[in-house]
Amino acid sequence: MPKPISGFSKLSKSEKIDWLLDTYFTDKNQSKTLVEQYWNSDKKLQKLHDEFIENTITNFYLPLGVAPNFKINEKLYTIPMAIEESSVVAAASKAAKFWLERGGFKAEVISTEKIGQVHFTYDGSFEKLETFFKTVKPKLISDASAITKNMERRGGGILDIELINKTEDLENYYQLHATFETLDAMGANFINSCLEQFATTFKDEAEKILEGNIEIVMSILSNYVPNCLVKAEVSCKIEDLKSKDINNPQLFAQKFKQAVNIAEVEPFRAVTHNKGIMNGIDAVVLATGNDFRAVEAGVHAYASKSGQYSSLTHCKIDDDTFRFWIEVPLALGTVGGLTSLHPLVKFALDLLEKPNAKELMQIVAVAGLAQNFAAVKSLTTTGIQEGHMKMHLMNILNQFEASNEEKEKVVEHFKTNIVTHSAVVDTLKKLRQ
C-alpha cells in the first residue's frame, strides 16, 4: 500500500516521475517511456506547458479538428474544435454545409453582464444595514479604482452593486451582488479582485458605524451569468429542407419540432439533448483557451431557470417557415489567460480571424446549435448510431492494433454493413484467420 509523501510539489519533474513509477507501476521502463513520449521536443514549449498547472509530469493530448463552411452573419468561418469524441466534428461540419445552402446562421449578443458576490453575515437591524449600504456604496466603488482604471479606460468596469437580503433562506445571510462589464476578457481575476476590495472596505466602514457583527464569509465571482446571453438561429422555408436524406420536408419539420418539444418538457431527454449541444460548445471553448467547466456550470443552471431542467434549443413552425434557435449564457474571453500563452489557442483565435469576446460568443453558440441540429436530424431520420458508429469504427480498429491493410478492408466491408463493436471484432478476426 502506498505511503503518504511529504514535499511532493518541491520535487523536480523527474523526481516526481520516479516516485510515481516506484510507487505505482511494475513495468517502470514502459511507463516512463510513455510519459516521456508525450513531452514536447521543444524544451521552451514544454516548459511553458509545465508551468500552466502544478505537479506536471507530461502532456495529455486531445485532437484539434476543424469544421469548415460556417456562415455566421454573412461571414464564412472554419471553426476549431478540441474534443476526443467521434462524430462531433463531422456532425458540426455537416450541419454547417446544410445551412450554408439555406442562408447560414444568424447570431446576436443580447447582453454581456457578469456577476460577482460578497457573501456575509450580519446579526443586526436590516434597516440600519440598508441605510449604511446606501452611504458606503460610492466608497466601495472608489476604493476599487486602482483595480478598475484600466478596464474603465477600455469601456468596462463595475456596473452596479446591490445589497441582497437572504435571511429568509439562511439566518443572518446577506450579499453584495455586483455586476460587471469585462469586454474581451473573461474577467475572473478582475472581478474577484474587485470583490475582495469591496469586502475589505465594507467591513472596515461597517465596524465604525453599525451595531451588530459583520463577518465576511467569502468573495467570489459567479459562473451563473443569465445576463451574459447570446442567441443563434437558423430558418428557411419548409420546402427548402428537402435534401438527400429528407424526402418529405413537412414530415421532417414536424418530427424535428416534436423532438425538441420533448426535450423542453422531459428532463431525462433534455440532459442528453443539451449534452449534445455542449459537445459543440465545449469543443470550441476549449480550443480557444476558455474555461469549459465554468461554461458548463452556467449553461446547465440556465437550463434549469424555470425550476425544471429543459432544452436550451427551441423550434417553431410559422406557416411555411422552419425556425430553430438557441439562447445560452456564455462568459468568454479573447484576451488574458491562455489566449496569449498557449500556441494552439493563439492559432485557433487566428483561424477565427481574431474575434472579440462578443464575436466568439456568437461563434460558440452557433457551434452548439449546429451540433444539436445534426443530432436531432439524425435521431428523427436515420437514427444516431449509423453515423456515430461509422465514425467510431477507427477507434475500435486502433484498439485492436489493426494494420493499414486491415483497416482498408474493414472500412470497405462496413460501407454496406451495420457497425457494432462485436461486428468489427468478428470481421477483424476473420481477416486475421
Residues in contact with 429: Cβ distance below 8 Å, sequence separation at least 6, in sequence order? none
Spatial strand order of the sheet with 173-181 comes to 157-165, 173-181, 114-122, 214-222
Q: What would you measure as the largest C-alpha separation in the chain, in angstroms?
A: 87
Torsion, CA 264, CA 269, CA 273, CA 276, rounded to 10: 170
CA dist., res. 252 & res. 258, Å (int): 10
* Terminal-to-terminal C-alpha distance of the chain: 44
Catalytic residue among 16, 32, 49, 275: 275
Measured from the Cβ of residue 231, the count of other Cβ atoms closer than 10 Å reads 17
Catalytic residue among 181, 184, 196, 291: 291
How is 357-403 classified by DSSP, letter by letter? HHHHHHHHHHHHHHHHHHHHHHHHTT-HHHHHHHHHHHHHHHHTT--
**DSSP-assigned letter for residue 341:** T
CA dist., res. 328 & res. 284, Å (int): 15
Catalytic residue among 13, 28, 50, 85: 85
Is 275 a known active-site residue? yes
Catalytic residue among 94, 114, 388, 392: 388
Is 409 a known active-site residue? no
Half-sphere exposure of residue 293, counting CA atoms within 13 Å on the CB side?
0
Distances (CA, A) of 203 to 179, 207, 286, 295: 20, 6, 38, 32
Pairing of strands 75-82, 313-318: unpaired
Q: Is the dihedral of CA 93, 97, 100, 105 positive or negative?
A: negative
Distances (CA, A) of 256 to 235, 367, 372, 373, 406: 13, 19, 11, 9, 39
> Burial, 26: exposed, middle or buried (Cβ in 10 Å; 0-12, 13-18, 19+)?
exposed
How is 67-93 classified by DSSP, letter by letter? EEEEEETTEEEEEEEE--STTHHHHHH
Torsion, CA 23, CA 29, CA 32, CA 33, rounded to 10: -160
Q: At what angle do helices 384-399 and 421-432 cross, to 10 degrees?
A: 40
Active centre residues (catalytic): 85, 275, 291, 388
